[in-house]
């Protein structure tokens, strides 16, 4: 008898036993389910990490060790010569600088353009807004390969700028800025911000630019970081456009430079692997630093009222 | 401070007319409540006064200035939103200071204004917090402080209490009343909550489907509702309505409905023209508030016989649902009553409490038929 006048009947032995069986059966199901899930995940993990390990191993070995039989995965001793060859005998650092300039500039300009375009599509009312937005989305369907030739022609024949666009930073950067996917992402995220915030700022006397700069932009930080990292990572490993637009060794980006290490007759795979590992490292570090923002940004969309 | 004049205001969204020819004057320093169910156009009116929506036609005058084409900020009104609309990335101080810093006022002036507003709303301790760290009531006070700091000519409040829980709502309601008494700023307050409207408003403007139904003091709209909508929207439980007809007898007017046959006081319907109209129209509805019934034993002379169906004790009162000739009547009575479901009773009432609504829904009482609603033609009866 409890204080609130509720009678709790004593459980009987039979009921207890049945309950115990049910608990054990339920636990068994859960163990099987978890095992299956982990197995599937493990397969995917191997698929994702495998190539990376396959690359890591040769970068620490001499060329002649690479083709030994049976193949050795773990080197007996770490050989650092491949890294030193890259740093001293190729323009690797120059390529790294080029890539940094290229990827950073594209990222910054993309962020500026995409956030403003996203704001306009999400919050401003102007004639043709919907059709313009559909047009922006439609450009997503055009394969990059189709665009390479026209882009090259445009860049090489910019008015009063004959051939000047080829093999320059400007020519490399400009065609890559403003991604339709980024505009779409920014617009979707801004649509989730409460309209009342913008209206309150408008009543408080803020101009359209001030609303964007002081209210919307700070609240967009997670989405901006995500778009920034995506763009940076994508451009860091962008191969096709830098390959087409650069003509001299000192303008190459890392991907183009590393690819050029492959000789016609002899290829030092150890050196190429080491170069590839060094190229990946900055991206991985950046991702690790900012990964919590990815979670935040995806949560923000889910939880906003 | 200023008065607000709304003249023949219309707002259409596509084919939908959200606001139909509304005219209203809010006096300088008045606390006017726009009351109505969701989607009746009350918020739209407020947003048009604020400048967040353009009027399709009509005029909005604040002070002596026509503001239809004036930017929201230059109208010098401050709005408090239902979800507070605080800037989540700014501290309370920066939120309150925002309108002034946008206006590029000197730093000292901003500090003085913020600390004054924070003082009025007891926010001094919270100035360095972010909105996310505040309770609902505190956020609402910050929103009010941000409105006060601009020293606006008028406050526009869009259901500012509806996100608060019941107890906090009561407390904040009192704070708002005090604030209005203290600052005396013209206020337009939108709500669908009749208790807020009755307790806060110097006057209430009742709206339905974009049309202004009645404007008056809380007592006026409650005691002398202009039509069936106002009568049933105000009051919980709402006014009881009984269908029937008026008949002229040698002893005066009688209301005859199913199971109901009661004489009417001459105070209620006395003008000869009115009587003539009623005769021509026939069908009417007869309205009585739950608190105006007296419960007597079954079989008493006169009154409405019925049987108790449900009892709803709410602590301070007891509400009965009484079945009377096919109509369910809500009756308020003493919470100590010993009545049970199934008991037969007779309901009596003072004849002068009765409202009589014509076929078009207008109240035919002598003292309400004459109430002219701005923008709405007075009843012709």
> Do the chains contact at B87 and A201, CB–CB below 8 Å?
yes
Q: Among candidates B281, B311, B295, B279, which has minimal Cα distance to B345?
A: B295
CA distance A215 to chain B (A): 7
Q: Does A203 touch chain B (CB under 8 A)?
A: yes
CA distance A294 to chain B (A): 19
Q: Among candidates B162, B173, B196, which has minimal Cα distance to B81?
A: B162
> Do the chains contact at B79 and A203, CB–CB below 8 Å?
yes
Give B88's contacts in chain A (Cβ within 8 Å): 219
Query: So what's the pLDDT on residue B373?
Result: 43
How do residues B39-60 score in pLDDT, each as one tens digit? Answer: 899 999 999 999 999 999 999 9
**Among chain A residues, CA nearest to B72:** A203
Query: So what's the pLDDT on residue B372?
Result: 41
ipTM summary value:
0.79
Q: Does B150 touch chain A (CB under 8 A)?
A: yes
Query: So what's the pLDDT on residue B175?
Result: 87
> Do the chains contact at A197 and B87, CB–CB below 8 Å?
yes
Q: Does A209 touch chain B (CB under 8 A)?
A: no
Query: So what's the pLDDT on residue B375?
Result: 42
DSSP class of B300: -
Residues of chain B with CATH 2.40.50.140: 236-369
> Do the chains contact at B102 and A206, CB–CB below 8 Å?
yes
CB B229 within 8 A of CB B213: yes
Query: So what's the pLDDT on residue B374?
Result: 42
Give A202's contacts in chain B (Cβ within 8 Å): 52, 72-73
Q: Provide mean pLDDT across the span A194-209.
A: 90
Q: Does B219 touch chain A (CB under 8 A)?
A: no
Q: Which residue has the higher pLDDT, A82 or A73?
A: A82
The CA distance from B190 to B35, in Å, is 6
Nearest to B50 among A203, A218, A219 (CB): A203
The CA distance from B371 to B355, in Å, is 14
The CA distance from B218 to B233, in Å, is 13
Query: So what's the pLDDT on residue B376?
Result: 42
Residues of chain B with CATH 3.40.50.300: 4-229
Compute the C-alpha angle B288/B293/B298, nearest 5°: 125
Query: So what's the pLDDT on residue B378?
Result: 39
CB B355 within 8 A of CB B239: yes
> Do the chains contact at A199 and B85, CB–CB below 8 Å?
yes
> Do the chains contact at B73 and A205, CB–CB below 8 Å?
yes
pTM over 0.80: no
CA distance B152 to chain A (A): 11
Query: So what's the pLDDT on residue B305?
Result: 87
Q: Does B72 touch chain A (CB under 8 A)?
A: yes
Q: Does A199 touch chain B (CB under 8 A)?
A: yes
The CA distance from A23 to A34, in Å, is 16
Query: So what's the pLDDT on residue B30?
Result: 94
> Do the chains contact at B98 and A204, CB–CB below 8 Å?
yes
Q: Provide mean pLDDT across the span A175-192.
A: 90
Q: Write down the CATH number for the domain with range B4-229.
A: 3.40.50.300
Query: So what's the pLDDT on residue B206?
Result: 95
Please count the residues of chain B: 381
**Token couple for B336:** 């100590």
Q: Does B79 touch chain A (CB under 8 A)?
A: yes
Q: Among candidates A195, A213, A129, which has minimal Cα distance to B52?
A: A195
Give A210's contacts in chain B (Cβ within 8 Å): 102
- Interface mutation vs chain B, best among A125, A199, A205, most B CBs within 10 Å: A205
Q: Does A213 touch chain B (CB under 8 A)?
A: no
DSSP class of B70: S
Residue A32: pLDDT above 90?
yes
**Residue B78 CB: number of other CB atoms within 10 A?**
25
Query: What string of pLDDT tens digits covers the 381 residues of chain B?
Result: 789 999 999 999 999 999 999 999 999 999 999 999 998 999 999 999 999 999 999 999 999 899 999 988 889 999 999 888 999 999 999 999 999 999 999 999 999 999 999 988 889 999 999 999 998 889 988 999 999 898 899 999 999 988 888 888 888 899 889 989 988 999 999 999 999 999 999 999 999 999 999 999 999 999 889 999 999 999 889 999 988 887 777 777 778 887 778 777 666 665 555 666 666 666 788 899 999 999 988 877 778 889 999 999 999 999 999 998 788 999 999 999 889 999 999 998 887 788 888 878 888 776 664 444 444 443 332
How do residues A232-268 score in pLDDT, each as one tens digit? Answer: 989 999 999 999 999 999 999 999 999 998 877 778 8
DSSP class of B202: S
Give B147's contacts in chain A (Cβ within 8 Å): none
> Do the chains contact at B82 and A218, CB–CB below 8 Å?
no
CA distance B73 to chain A (A): 5
- Interface mutation vs chain B, best among A193, A196, A199, A200, most B CBs within 10 Å: A200
**Token couple for B222:** 């409650």
- Is beta strand B16-26 parallel, antiparallel or unpaired with respect to B327-333? unpaired
Q: What are phi and psi of A293, to 5 degrees?
A: -65, -35
Q: Among candidates B333, B290, B328, B332, which has minimal Cα distance to B307?
A: B328
Q: Does B155 touch chain A (CB under 8 A)?
A: no
Give B79's contacts in chain A (Cβ within 8 Å): 199-200, 203
The label of the residue with tokens 């199913």 reads B258
List of long-range contacts for B108-111, beta carbons under 8 Å, 24+ apart: none
- Interface mutation vs chain A, best among B52, B62, B140, B144, most A CBs within 10 Å: B52
Q: What are phi and psi of B229, to 5 degrees?
A: -60, -50
Q: Which residue has the higher pLDDT, B18 or A157?
A: B18
Query: So what's the pLDDT on residue B8?
Result: 94
Q: For A121-130, A152-161, A212-221, which range has the lowest pLDDT when averaged over its residues?
A: A152-161
Q: Does A217 touch chain B (CB under 8 A)?
A: no
**Token couple for B240:** 């009881």
Q: Does B349 touch chain A (CB under 8 A)?
A: no
Q: Which CATH architecture has domain B236-369?
A: Beta Barrel (2.40)
């Amino acid at each position: 008898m409890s204080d609130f006048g509720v009678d709790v009947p004593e459980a009987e032995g039979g009921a207890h036993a049945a309950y115990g069986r049910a608990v054990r059966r339920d636990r068994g199901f859960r163990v099987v389910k978890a095992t299956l899930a982990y197995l599937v995940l493990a397969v995917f993990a191997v698929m994702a990490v495998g190539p990376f390990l396959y690359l890591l191993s040769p970068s620490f070995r001499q060329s002649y060790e690479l083709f030994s039989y049976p193949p050795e995965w773990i080197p007996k001793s770490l050989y650092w010569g491949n890294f030193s060859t890259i740093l001293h005998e190729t323009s690797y650092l120059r390529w790294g600088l080029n890539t940094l300039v290229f990827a950073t500039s594209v990222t910054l300009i993309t962020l500026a353009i995409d956030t403003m375009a996203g704001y306009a599509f999400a919050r401003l009312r102007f004639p043709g807004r919907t059709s313009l937005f559909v047009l922006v989305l439609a450009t997503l369907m055009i394969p990059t390969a189709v665009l390479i030739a026209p882009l090259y022609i445009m860049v090489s024949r910019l008015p009063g700028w004959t051939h000047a666009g080829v093999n320059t930073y400007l020519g490399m950067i400009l065609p890559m800025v403003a991604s339709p996917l980024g505009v779409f992402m920014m617009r979707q995220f801004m649509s989730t911000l409460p309209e009342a915030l913008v209206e309150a700022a408008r009543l408080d006397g803020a101009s359209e630019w001030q609303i964007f700069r002081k209210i919307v932009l700070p609240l967009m930080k997670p989405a901006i970081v995500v778009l920034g990292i995506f763009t940076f990572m994508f451009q860091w490993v962008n191969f096709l456009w830098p390959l087409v637009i650069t003509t001299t060794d000192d303008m190459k980006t890392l991907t183009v430079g590393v690819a050029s290490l492959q000789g016609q007759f002899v290829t030092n795979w150890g050196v190429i692997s080491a170069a590839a590992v060094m190229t990946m490292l900055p991206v991985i570090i950046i991702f690790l630093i900012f990964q919590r923002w990815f979670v935040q940004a995806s949560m923000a969309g889910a939880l906003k009222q | 401070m200023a008065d607000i004049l709304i003249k023949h205001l219309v707002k259409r969204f596509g084919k939908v007319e959200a606001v139909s020819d509304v005219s209203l004057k809010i006096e300088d320093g008045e606390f006017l409540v726009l009351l109505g169910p969701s989607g009746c156009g009350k918020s739209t009116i407020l947003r048009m006064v604020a400048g967040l929506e353009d009027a399709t036609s009509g005029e909005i005058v604040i002070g002596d200035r026509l503001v239809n084409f004036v930017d929201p900020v230059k109208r010098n009104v401050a709005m408090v939103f239902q979800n507070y609309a605080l800037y989540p990335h700014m501290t309370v101080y920066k939120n309150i200071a925002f309108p002034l810093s946008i206006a590029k006022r000197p730093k000292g002036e901003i500090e003085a204004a913020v600390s004054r507003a924070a003082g009025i709303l007891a926010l001094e301790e919270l100035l360095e917090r972010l909105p996310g760290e505040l309770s609902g009531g505190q956020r609402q006070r910050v929103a009010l402080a941000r409105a006060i700091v601009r020293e606006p000519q008028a406050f526009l409040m869009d259901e500012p209490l509806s996100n608060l829980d019941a107890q906090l709502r009561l407390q904040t309601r009192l704070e708002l009343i005090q604030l209005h008494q203290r600052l005396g700023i013209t206020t337009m307050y939108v709500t669908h909550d009749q208790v807020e409207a009755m307790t806060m408003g110097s006057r209430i403007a009742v709206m339905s489907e974009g049309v202004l139904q009645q404007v008056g003091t809380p007592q006026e709209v409650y005691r002398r509702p202009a039509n069936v909508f106002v009568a049933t929207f105000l009051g919980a439980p709402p006014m009881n309505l009984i269908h029937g007809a008026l008949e002229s007898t040698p002893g005066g007017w009688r209301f005859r409905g199913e199971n109901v046959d009661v004489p009417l006081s001459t105070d209620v319907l006395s003008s000869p023209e009115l009587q003539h109209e009623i005769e021509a129209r026939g069908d009417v509805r007869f309205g009585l508030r739950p608190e105006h019934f007296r419960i007597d034993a079954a079989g008493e002379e006169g009154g409405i016989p019925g049987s108790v169906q449900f009892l709803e004790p709410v602590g301070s009162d007891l509400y009965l649902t009484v079945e009377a000739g096919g109509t369910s009547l809500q009756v308020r009575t003493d919470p100590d009553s010993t009545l049970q479901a199934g008991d037969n009773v007779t309901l009596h009432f003072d004849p002068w409490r009765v409202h009589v609504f014509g076929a078009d829904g207008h109240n035919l009482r002598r003292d309400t038929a004459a109430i002219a609603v701005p923008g709405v033609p007075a009843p012709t009866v």
